[in-house]
Structure formats: C-alpha cells, structure tokens
Structure 1
Amino acid sequence: MGVVAALWRYPVKSMAGERLTEVAVGERGLDGDRLYAVHDPGGKFGSGKNSTRFRRMPGLPAFAARYDGDVPVLTFPDGRVLRGDDGGVHAELAAALDFPGVRLVVEGELPHHDEAAVHLVTTSSLAWLAERTPGVALDERRFRANLLLDTGPAPGLPEEAWVGERLRIGEVELEVLRKAVRCVMVGLPAGGLPAAPGLLKTISEVNGVTFGVQARVVRGGALRVGDVHEVGCSAPHTP
C-alpha cells in the first residue's frame, strides 16, 4: 500500500504537461490526456520516435500544454502563449518546429497513447535509478508518467512485480499490462529539466530499456493526490 504522490496530464502528446490534484479517469485514461497531437502532413503524430503511427519531432518537448476548460493552451519555447482554438496556431507551430505543414489535431480513430491508457512510476524506482545516474536531475517528468505512486521504503522496482495484477487507487481500478519501453524522450530537456543525454543508455544497461509500467483502466472514477493504492485488490462493482 502507498499513496498517489503526483498526477500529471499531457494535453498535447510529447509536450510538457500540467500537474493536477484531482482528475476524472475513464476507459481512455485521464480525462484529456494526450487528446491532442501535432500531426505531420501525412497524418503521423509528433513524437520522440519514428514508427507506423509516429513521426519524430525533437522540438516538441520544449513546448508545454495545459487546459483552459477543454481548450489546450500552448506555451512555446520562447514564452509565447497560444490557445489551441487560435486560427494561427498551426502556422506558428510549423514555424517554431521548422516543420512545414504540421497541425494541432484532436484524436480521431487512431489513439495518441503509445501503448496503454495510463503510465505510472513509483518513488522507489526513481530512487533506484537515481543511484545509478548520479548528477542527473531525475523525477517523473522525464518519463511522462501520469501517476507517481509513493511506495515508501520498498526497494528496487516494485511496479515491475505488479504486471498482470489489479491496482486499486481510490475509486479507480487499473490492470498493469507490461513494463514501459523507454525512448530518446527521457534524455531530452523538457518541463524545466536539462538534457540527460546518457540516461537512455543507462536504462538500457541496467534494466533492458524499460522503466515504469503501462496499465489499462478496469474501472473509472475520480483520482486524487493522496489516494491510497493497493495491489492485488479488485474494487467492488456497484450495479
């Protein structure tokens, strides 16, 4: 058992996000999380990697996004602020990213999430990795986790033992699906953190390029900082 230490939502995929004290959670994950993405002219989503769905756009982590109601508000690397419903936002993004034709787009048929609806890490795993990466500014923002769970004195990487288990957090129930595979994003400067160019290599060497876990939502509800989490417990379902 432990508690939720931090909640993070990322209105725009691959941009820095916003720290919350409370959020609604549904089948898709945290309400509004990664609901928007920057699309290239071919429809691929801006990301830290190239794949069938994603197009690498290295400049994206230098942006930040938050919501004003249901509208994403973007903070550019130079400090300018633009709302997602501003007609000039697409051209401004294209210029700032030096990537002609990109557009800020709401999620359609293809999901914006990489692997699963919810990503989480623990304080224990962060402490474990910090011991192996001296001098690196290390917190959950590097890994774009939705949840930071305080696991107290638990040693090592406790969340890895939760794969296949149910996790109850306040009103919410998750099923932990798999370890999270990391990419170059962990070493990029973002959210006020400096670059850590050797971090991905270290994670690869000490933990097979995985860190944290991915989960699906079994039961939605309100999620709050301070909510207790329990492993291996199935929340009672009401009619």
Structure 2
Amino acid sequence: MAAIGSVAELWRYPASSLAGERLEAIAVGTDSIEGDRMFGLVDVSDNEIARPDRDAKWHKVPRIRTRLNHDRELEIAIPGGDWLSAPGPECDRAVSNYLGFAASIRPFGRENAPPAYAGPLTQARYKKAPIHLLTTASLARLKALHPDGAADPRRFRPNIVVDMAPVDGSFPETEWIGRKLAIGDLVLTISEPCRRCGFTIIAQDGFDNDPGILRNLVRYNAHNLGVYCTVDKPGRVDIGAPMRFVAA
C-alpha cells in the first residue's frame, strides 16, 4: 500500500513531565521505546509525583530539559543551567531551587536506576501505551480552528510525529482506531484516541499558556488529539521513514 506520510519528528521522554528528547531514530520494543519514561519527579514532602496538568506548582517542570548519555544515564538541565547527572543530590538541589520546594528525581523501579544509585524509588503514575502517534494533519486542523494558538507538538508529547497532507475538516488519525500501520520496520495497531488534559495549555519555551488549545479539542474532537498504539512487530524507526496502512 502506498505511503500516506513520513516520520517528521521522534521523541522520547526519559523523565515523566520533564521536556522530551528529540532523536533521529528510536528503537521500539513490545512494551516501550528504549529509554522512555525511566524516571519521575516527586515532591519530597509527600512523595507526590509531578502533575503539571493538575497543580500549578509543577507548571515549570516541562521547561527542564532531559537527555540520556551514551551509557543511558539521565542528564537534566534547568533553564539557564548546565547539564547535571541525575538522579543525585546536585541535580535535586538545582531542581528544588528552580521549583521553590524540595523535589527529587527518582527511578521508576530499580531496573531503571544507574548502577551506583541506592536511593529511593518512585512508581510510574500510569503507562497508557507503548507509542503515542500524532500527525501534522491534525496539528494543521487545530491551527485552523485556533489560528492565534501555537499547535506545537511539544504540547502533546508524542513519540512519533508523521508528516502528512491536511485532511479538510478532520483530525485523521482519530478515525483510524483498530487499523494497523507500518512505519519503517515497526508495525503498530492503533488502539485508542489520546484524550487531552490540562498539560496541553501550559507554557513552554517558545509558546505561552493557552487554554484555547484544550477548548478547541474538547469542542471539535471530543477532547482528543493523536492516538495510542500497541506494538505488533518491534523495530527501529528513523526520521523520514514512510508510514502506510497494512492489512489486519
């Protein structure tokens, strides 16, 4: 079947709620992207995990940059700061000073911890699906509905952004539930739409706080943008890889 689009952006999120890491290629297993959502950020006072969608005290968290080094160890950088190894006391001090309260980056389970780490762990809040896919066609539809807003992919935290022609009056991937896609070597089943929360309105570097983003998704696409996918065949995905439908 002919390609309907090609991969424009690839993202993983080494630490939940913190900024993502843009990549040229990703390795996708049955359950996750390699290096995705290995760490969480907690309030030390009560071990509450960061919830930017629900509590304003976390609204600056998406501005904290993340990356994994060649040894798959986490590094973070607060705005205006240098890269720091995480988890650890120095990075926790920097994050706490930035947020204005005591906070700590902790692994989701001992298997995600660096070899020398012996500190506390935290539990992942939830893991909806291995892959979150978003098309530029849906971003274009949102922009058409909300011309003054920034329909930036970073608002929505996708793993794969597919470039495809706009579909007039449609958020196209929302209509693909149950269909199978091949992207490079990877084969996915689109399992459900991605229901959006207050995270989408929060300001990040390059765009402002904007409640109109979520209002338009609620009004015109039943709260949704993008889709969650399960993995039928693991594989590597590179920028530029074609996407096509495959038979069930």
Please give the range of the TM-score, normalised by the shorter of the 2 chains.
0.7 to 0.9
Q: Which amino acid aligns with 1:49?
A: D
| 2:43 paired with 1:40 | yes
In structure 1, how many angstroms separate the alpha carbons of the residues matched to 2:123 and 2:30? 15
In structure 2, how many angstroms separate the alpha carbons of the residues matched to 1:67 and 1:55? 27
Structure 2 matches for 1:42-191, cutoff 5 A? Answer: 42-50=46-54, 57-69=58-70, 70-100=72-102, 102-108=103-109, 110-111=123-124, 114-155=127-168, 156-191=170-205
In structure 2, how many angstroms separate the alpha carbons of the residues matched to 1:23 and 1:88? 29
| Equivalence for 2:5 | 2
Q: What is the number of residues matched between the two proteins?
A: 230
Are 2:171 and 2:221, in contact at CA under 8 Å, matched by a contact in 1? no
- The structure-2 alpha-carbon separation of the partners of 1:56 and 1:220, relative to structure 1 and needing over 3 Å to count, comes to farther
Query: 4+ runs of 1 displaced by more than 6 Å?
Result: none
In structure 1, how many angstroms separate the alpha carbons of the residues matched to 2:125 and 2:231? 16
* Identity fraction in percent: 30
In structure 1, how many angstroms separate the alpha carbons of the residues matched to 2:127 and 2:48? 13
**TM-score for both structures, normalised by structure 1:** 0.86
Give the deviation of 1:152 after TM superposition: 2.1
In structure 1, how many angstroms separate the alpha carbons of the residues matched to 2:166 and 2:143? 15
| 2:30 paired with 1:27 | yes
Q: Which amino acid aligns with 2:53?
A: K
Unaligned runs of 5+ in 1: 235-239
Unaligned runs of 5+ in 2: 110-121
Are 2:84 and 2:91, in contact at CA under 8 Å, matched by a contact in 1? yes
**TM-score for both structures, normalised by structure 2:** 0.84
Cα RMSD, aligned residues only? 2.3
Give the deviation of 1:6 after TM superposition: 0.9
Structure 2 matches for 1:187-226, cutoff 5 A? Answer: 187-226=201-240
Give the deviation of 1:147 after TM superposition: 0.8
Give the deviation of 1:9 after TM superposition: 1.4
- The structure-2 alpha-carbon separation of the partners of 1:18 and 1:192, relative to structure 1 and needing over 3 Å to count, comes to farther
**Greater alpha carbon shift after TM alignment, 140-149 vs 112-121:** 112-121
Give the deviation of 1:104 after TM superposition: 0.8
Give the deviation of 1:139 after TM superposition: 2.2
**Greater alpha carbon shift after TM alignment, 136-145 vs 84-93:** 84-93
